[in-house]
Amino acid sequence: MKQKLVKIVSATVLVTAGVWIGVVIAKPLEANSGVTPGSIEDPVVTKSYVDEQIAKLNAGGSSGGNTGGSNGSVTETSNKLEVVEIPVGKTLIAAGGSEVVVRSGKAVAFSFDASGISDLTDGVDIKNGKNVPNNHLLWFPRDGRGVKGHADEKKSVTVIVKGKYSLK
């Protein structure tokens, strides 16, 4: 009988010690240990605040539209896509970071230096004077690069532009 009592007491002590150790070890691992909702570490943001910030971004985004591209002035189009006609003999010079897709007509790459423009669709670099495929996404890593109509092209080239550009 005494052995049975010792086994019960030992089991009770072991279970109690296990529960106590589990509580002590798990305490620092709690999800909300020391972070107060609404503090700088965990800010509370309301829908109206988010809507206000989006409205501010949209209001200050872009001026849109062409502001005289044919005379060489820069056109602002921030995040908007704009359909642009490149007249025969003119060159679209894209600002660094702009994106262009040639939609119709035959176009060639233009660059003031030996570097080209990035064709993200094929993953290649198109050098100055080389043909630009239609419906390929072109990215201009720096200013001074662009697209112009092919020498054989008798009509304007239609492109879609996202970003700043000028027609020269």
DSSP 117: E
More confident residue, 30 or 163: 163
Instruction: Determine the Cα–Cα distance for residues 110 and 100; give it in Å rounded to an integer.
Output: 13
pLDDT band at 2 (very low <50, low <70, confident <90, very high): confident
Neighbouring CB atoms inside 10 A of 128's CB total: 15
- Residue 147: name the closest of 81, 78, 80, 101 by CA: 101
Banded pLDDT at 144 (limits 50, 70, 90)? confident
Helices (H), the chain: 2-26, 47-59
In this prediction, residue 65 carries a pLDDT of: 42
Residue holding tokens 């890593």? Answer: 141
The CA R_g of the chain, rounded to the nearest whole Å, is 32
Q: Closest Cα partner for 166 from 65, 67, 69, 64? A: 69
Render pLDDT for 89-140 as a digit per residue (tens, 0 to 9). Answer: 899 999 988 999 999 999 999 988 877 898 999 889 999 889 999 999 999 8
| Biggest CA pair distance of the chain | 110
Average pLDDT, the chain: 80
At a CB cut-off of 8 Å and minimum separation 6, what does 138 contact?
99, 100, 101, 102, 117, 118, 119, 120, 126, 132, 147
The pTM of the full predicted model, rounded to 2 decimals, is 0.53
What percentage of the chain has pLDDT greater than the value 90?
Answer: 27
pLDDT one-digit tens code per residue, 15-43: 998 888 877 776 655 555 566 766 777 67
Give me the pLDDT at residue 92, please.
Answer: 92
Interacting residues of 146 by C-beta distance below 8 A, sequence separation 6+: 91, 92, 93, 94, 109, 110, 111, 117, 140, 165
Residue 113's nearest CA partner among 129, 124, 102, 98 is: 129
Residue type present at position 29:
L
